């Protein structure tokens, strides 16, 4: 199996506060890995370290055989290969749906407007938002905004798509439409790393589940192992509170 990202001994401190400790894990091509764990356990920080929105304090991020934390490495080239979907959508409110999906392609990938619009439309169709190309974000529901944010990330055709609690800011009735799109993407073989509180979704869609607790990976395994046969006391406690 081809490894896309391999994290080794990753650590992150904010001042004296060590938020991530000795994190090891990898994401293989076509795999869906869900990260679960209590609030404050370091899940967002881990994702932000993976895409270098935060600078790790130590460890390695091996991408296609190279440690991208080496000084000589071109982190911009690496970051272009990762997509990110945030809890708060982070759409540009002054641009319409199509604009949101073409800006990054033109600026970062240097695609022509025509090419970028073609690609954007393709992915807006995938998420069922192609009828809304001219809408401004404020005219959309939360679920629709998040689907546009997913189309925008897909338009960059990343190697890995990272999601940080993509449904946590949504009204309950809109969670389903976003999870459905994510499930469809998972089935197309997209490589995905997803922080989520949606345990049913994680159980159904993941190839692997990572349970984080107080800055460490406390347990990792198949959804069946983690949800039906957890071995760690902390995993059991967490699931008892959550399920």
Which CA distances in Å does 224 have to 4, 204, 229? 24, 10, 7
Q: How far is the CB of 37 from Mg ion (least distance, A)?
A: 9
Which window, 37-45, 95-103, 199-207, 225-233, contacts ligand ADP (CB under 6 A)? Answer: 37-45
Using CB under 6 A as the binding rule, whether residue 40 contacts ligand ADP is answered as yes
Which window, 25-33, 40-48, 168-176, 214-222, contacts Mg ion (CB under 5 A)? Answer: 40-48
Q: Residue 148: which of 129, 135, 166, 168 has the closest Cα?
A: 129
Residues that contact ligand ADP, how many (by CB under 6 A): 10
Q: How far is the CB of 125 from ligand ADP (least distance, A)?
A: 32
How many angstroms separate the CA atoms of 44 and 165, rounded?
Answer: 9
Q: How far is the CB of 150 from Mg ion (least distance, A)?
A: 18
Q: Residue 11: which of 23, 3, 1, 28 has the closest Cα?
A: 23
**Between 37 and 83, CB nearer to Mg ion:** 37
Site residues (CB under 5 A) for Mg ion, limited to 70-129: none
Using CB under 6 A as the binding rule, whether residue 234 contacts ligand ADP is answered as no
DSSP per position, 76-103: HHHHHTEEEE-TT----TTS-HHHHHHH
Site residues (CB under 6 A) for ligand ADP, limited to 2-21: 14, 19
For CA atoms 68, 159, 191, 134, the dihedral sign is positive
Task: Dump strand ranges (E) for 17-173.
Answer: 17-28, 32-37, 58-63, 66-67, 82-85, 160-164
Q: Residue from 5, 7, 25, 41 that binds ligand ADP (CB under 6 A)?
A: 41
* Rg of the chain over all Cα atoms, to the nearest angstrom: 18
Which residues, 6 or more positions from 196, have their beta carbon under 8 angstroms from its beta carbon? 34, 35, 36, 163, 165, 166, 167, 202
Using CB under 5 A as the binding rule, whether residue 44 contacts Mg ion is answered as yes
Q: How far is the CB of 104 from ligand ADP (least distance, A)?
A: 24
Using CB under 6 A as the binding rule, whether residue 43 contacts ligand ADP is answered as yes
Q: How far is the CB of 63 from Mg ion (least distance, A)?
A: 23
**Quick one: what does residue 42 bind among ligand ADP, Mg ion, none, with the CB cut-off 5 to 8 Å set by partner type?**
ligand ADP
Task: Give the strand order in the sheet containing 160-164.
Answer: 82-85, 160-164, 192-195, 32-37, 208-213, 216-221
**Quick one: what does residue 188 bind among Mg ion, ligand ADP, none, with the CB cut-off 5 to 8 Å set by partner type?**
none
Which window, 2-10, 35-43, 56-64, 229-237, contacts ligand ADP (CB under 6 A)? Answer: 35-43
- Residues near ligand ADP (CB under 6 A): 14, 19, 37, 39-45
- Residues near Mg ion (CB under 5 A): 44
């Amino acid at each position: 199996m081809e490894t896309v990202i391999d994290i080794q001994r990753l650590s992150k401190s904010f001042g004296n506060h060590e938020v991530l400790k000795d994190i090891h894990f990898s994401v293989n091509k076509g795999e869906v890995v869900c990260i679960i764990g209590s609030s404050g356990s370091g899940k967002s920080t881990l994702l932000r370290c993976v895409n270098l929105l935060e600078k790790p304090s130590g460890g390695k991020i091996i991408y296609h055989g190279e440690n991208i934390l080496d000084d000589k490495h071109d982190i911009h080239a690496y970051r272009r290969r990762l997509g990110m979907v945030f809890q708060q959508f982070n759409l540009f409110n002054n641009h319409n749906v199509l604009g949101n999906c073409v800006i990054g392609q033109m600026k970062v990938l240097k695609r022509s407007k025509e090419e970028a619009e073609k690609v954007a439309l393709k992915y807006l169709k995938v998420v069922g938002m192609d009828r809304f190309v001219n809408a401004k974000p404020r005219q959309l529901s939360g679920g629709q905004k998040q689907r546009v944010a997913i189309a925008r990330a897909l338009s960059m055709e990343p190697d890995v798509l990272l999601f940080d609690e993509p449904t946590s800011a949504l009204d309950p009735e809109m969670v389903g439409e976003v999870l459905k799109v994510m499930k469809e993407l998972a089935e197309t073989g997209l490589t995905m790393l997803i922080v989520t509180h949606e345990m049913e979704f994680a159980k159904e869609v993941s190839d692997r589940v990572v349970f984080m607790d107080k800055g460490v990976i406390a347990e990792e395994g198949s959804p069946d192992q983690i949800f039906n046969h957890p071995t760690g006391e902390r995993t059991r406690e967490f699931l008892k509170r959550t399920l």
